[in-house]
Structure 1
């Protein structure tokens, strides 16, 4: 995972919530207006603004 130009403290806070390299992330839903988006991370649900999601890079896991 790579975070670019997030607001101060946002990247640190995401790490505290468990969003670190190697963590599985599942997209749950997107609000009708497009923001926020909800994700399942380590058994918790977190919501992120679309503008922050655009600054986070993740890689899809290969199918078994």
Structure 2
């Protein structure tokens, strides 16, 4: 059994989410996809900040 939780959102947010949802897609599926995209975006930003610092030590082969 899947546990369900309710999220309170404003009407404008609900409307924006509805516009993003594909036919047949649930809000849960949409939000899961958005979460994955955000995690990847944050990882890219983090890796870029590490690369920009440029303080690396060469490891022997």
Q: Relative contact order (C-alpha < 8 Å, sep 6+): which is higher?
A: 1
TM over 0.5: no
Q: TM-score, normalised by structure 1?
A: 0.29
Query: Which structure has the highest strand share of the two?
Result: 1
Query: Which structure has the highest helix share of the two?
Result: 2
Higher alpha-carbon Rg: 2
Q: TM-score, normalised by structure 2?
A: 0.29
